[in-house]
């Protein structure tokens, strides 16, 4: 299983903070398309993505137990 | 990262040392008016563990670019009122030029890559800033200002 974290507008749109997805061996892009279809997250294309707290690109392949986060455009500072 | 009031003094004290001849600070505060729109208060949310990791990385980047620099960064999350301090960073270096440059670098990197989000609350509604509409509005706003000054 892969644990997906949602923040800010994504968390509000999906109505939840985390989603568990069976996605070991799949790419980040695959997880994104699953979330878009099932959780009302059409704006995910604007997100950066991290695996285990490191930024990655959409082609990165997931391992069992990974934590994926879709990071909306940041606005700290 | 903290949910409480940030002591500017405490952040500055983290970088004071005998080798330093200059300390530059940047203090980010909550602005009431943005493009003519009145903000009532802000809420900041973070992916706290990753945000701390990325802030530490910015510190490492600075120490690579300016080997004699020492950096401290504290960012607040939760509800902040107008004029509350949202972020304090301090950079100490032997000479002032590096302290100015490195502190500018630090805040720009925070705005690029640290997973923190702010939501503006108005009397007419609320919005996560950095989303598509916000980014566009701000981009247009700054372009207009440049045009006016240019």
pLDDT in tens, B110-129: 999 999 999 999 999 999 99
**CATH of the domain spanning A2-71:** 3.10.20.30
- At A4-23, the pLDDT tens digits run 999 999 999 999 999 999 99
> Is the model more confident about B144 or about B51?
B51
- At B52-69, the pLDDT tens digits run 999 999 999 999 999 999
Hey, where are the domains in chain A? 2-71
Mutate one of B50, B74, B125 to test the A interface: name it (highest A CB count within 10 A): B50
Six-digit token pair at B7? 């002591």
Residues of chain A scoring pLDDT < 50? none
Predicted TM-score (pTM) of this structure: 0.89
Q: What angle do CA A51, A76, B108 make, to 5 degrees?
A: 90
> How many angstroms away from the CA of A22 is the closest CA of chain B?
23
Residue B146 reports pLDDT greater than 60? no
Q: Chain A, 12-71: which have a CB under 8 Å from a chain B CB?
A: 12, 43, 46, 50, 53, 55, 69, 71
Q: Which helix (H) or strand (E) holds B89?
A: strand B85-93
Cα B51 from chain centroid? Answer: 12
Domains of chain B: 8-149 (3.90.1170.40)
Question: CA quadruple A69, A74, A76, B3: dihedral positive or negative?
Answer: negative
pLDDT of residue B143: 34
Residue B150 reports pLDDT greater than 80? no
Q: Identify all chain A residues contacting B125, using CB atoms and an 8 Å cutoff.
A: none
């Amino acid at each position: 299983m892969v644990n997906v974290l949602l923040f800010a507008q994504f968390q509000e749109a999906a109505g939840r903070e985390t989603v568990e997805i069976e996605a070991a061996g799949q790419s980040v892009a695959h997880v994104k398309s699953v979330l878009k279809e099932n959780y009302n997250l059409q704006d995910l294309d604007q997100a950066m993505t991290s695996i285990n707290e490191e930024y990655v690109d959409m082609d990165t392949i997931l391992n069992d137990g990974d934590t994926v986060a879709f990071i909306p455009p940041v606005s700290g500072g | 990262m903290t949910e409480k009031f940030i002591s500017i003094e405490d952040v500055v004290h983290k970088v004071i040392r005998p080798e330093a001849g200059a300390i530059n600070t940047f203090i980010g505060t909550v602005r009431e008016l943005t493009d003519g729109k009145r903000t009532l208060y802000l809420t900041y949310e973070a992916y706290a563990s990753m945000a701390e990791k990325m802030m530490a990385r910015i510190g490492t980047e600075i120490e690579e670019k300016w080997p004699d620099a020492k950096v401290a960064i504290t960012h607040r999350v939760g509800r902040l009122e107008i004029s509350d301090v949202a972020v304090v960073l301090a950079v100490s270096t032997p000479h002032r030029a590096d302290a100015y440059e490195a502190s500018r670098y630090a805040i720009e990197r925070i705005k690029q890559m640290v997973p923190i989000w702010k939501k503006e609350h108005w009397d007419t509604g609320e919005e996560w800033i950095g989303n598509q509409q916000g980014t566009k509005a701000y981009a247009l706003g700054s372009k207009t200002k440049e045009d006016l000054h240019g």
